[in-house]
Amino acid sequence: MKNVLRALMLGFAAVTITALAVAQGPGINYAKVQFIPQLLAPNVYILTGSPGADAGHPEAAGGRIGVLAGPEGVLMVDATYAPLSDKLAAAIKQINPGPIRFLIDTHYHPDHTGGNPNFAKKGALILAREEVRRALITPPPPAVLAAVGDAASWKDPERLPIVTYGNGATVKIHFDGETVDLIPLPPSHTNGDTLVRFENANVIMLGDFYRNYGYPFVDVTRGASFKGTLESIDLLLRTADTNTKLVPGHGSLPTLADVKAYRDMIVDVRSKVEQMAANGSSLQQVLAAKLTAPYDATVPGGTDPLPAGLGNSADRFVSALYAEVKASR
């Protein structure tokens, strides 16, 4: 049984690596991407990449960017793909021409850290979890490197966070009249996720542990899990209130009720997977049961084909749940 479970987990890890490579590199029309600004509070903005230019993220290219702008300069959250750095810097300059002082990485994936070197060379101090620095130090397998291409560099020394913190107390940055909380999360989307809260503006940037374009995705190659995802959601629900503006890395901006419904959906589908697994069902039987069917109509992109013949995010979600359930038995 242990050998079967190991093979199951290794197989899913291989699929995860392939999915990450597809989502972080090929099929991006960088020339087509523009950054669309949105004001959330008097000095807090988000910038979202153009839709239809990124095969891995068709709803919007790369990860969403956060910008705190004021008399002391700019603090930014996440840095999108490397080839988009100049466009992103120009878009930020339209908001505030001052220096970019700080860059916070919500996690290590290239659509959030690819631009790190270019913004570091512009003077930004990069902050992130210790796990993010370790992930960026360790090159991925050659096939992933080839697939990521120029979306991110694993060689440029400027890519690495300079200030790191562990899975402990909240880090606070006092800047531009705002208090910015860097809140470490349990292993959820990756093992190095950070929630970024702007206290005065009442804005929280979520990174990717919540996403409403496609079903939840966990990077098992970095120790992520749906158990950790649920713990992270619970932490968010304790931190936010009904007036908080919530900003995911991908998809539309949710309400707190949307996040609660997202949690309920994960719990419901996981419970059904657990029941089928306990009755001896194979992964193929679980997938054939279409356990996400009650939610498919309300999850944009959930049943759309993923690039490179990787199925769809509903099946990827259920497969990951099945692997996690089997591994915990």
The model's pLDDT over 285-313, given as tens digits with 9 standing for 90+, comes to 999 999 999 999 999 999 999 876 778 99
> Can you tell me the mean pLDDT for 165-184?
97
Quick one: pLDDT at residue 8? Answer: 47
pLDDT, tens only, 182-225:
999 999 999 999 999 999 999 999 999 999 999 999 999 889 99
How much is the pLDDT for 147? 79
pLDDT tens digits for range 239-288:
999 999 999 999 999 999 999 999 999 999 999 999 999 999 999 999 99
Please state, rounded to an integer, the average pLDDT across all residues of the chain.
92
225 Ramachandran zone, left/alpha/beta (phi>0; psi -120 to 50): beta
Kind and range of the H or E element at 75?
A: strand 73-77
Percentage of residues of the chain with pLDDT beyond 90 = 81
Q: Do 66 and 76 touch, CB atoms closer than 8 A?
A: yes
* 230 pLDDT higher than 80: yes
- Provide the CATH number for the domain formed by 29-257 in this structure: 3.60.15.10
Q: Where are the domains of the chain?
A: 29-257
The DSSP 8-state label assigned to residue 255 in this structure reads: P
| 300: exposed, middle or buried (Cβ count in 10 Å: 0-12, 13-18, 19+) | middle
CB contact at 8 A, 290 and 273 = no
User: What does the pLDDT read at residue 228?
Assistant: 98
Q: Which tens digit of pLDDT belongs to each residue from 101-145?
A: 999 999 999 999 999 999 999 999 999 999 999 999 998 888 788
Structure tokens at 44: 């807090």
Residues 6 or more apart in contact with residue 184 via CB below 8 angstroms: 129, 165, 166, 167, 168, 170, 193, 194, 195
pLDDT higher than threshold 60 for residue 18: no
With b for 16 or more beta-carbon neighbours within 10 A and e for fewer, the 49-75 pattern comes to beeebbbbbbbbbbbbbbbbbbebbbb
Q: What type of residue is 114? A: G
Nearest to 129 by CA among 76, 196, 226: 196
- pLDDT for position 316: 95
Give CA–CA dist 76/97, Å, rounded: 13
Please determine, for residue 27, whether its predicted confidence score (pLDDT) is greater than 90. no
User: pTM of whole model > 0.85?
Assistant: yes
Q: Contact 247/104 with Cβ under 8 angstroms?
A: no
Q: What's the confidence (pLDDT) of residue 7?
A: 45
Percent of the chain clearing pLDDT 70 (strictly above) = 91
Q: Would strands 194-198 and 178-184 be described as parallel, antiparallel, or unpaired?
A: antiparallel
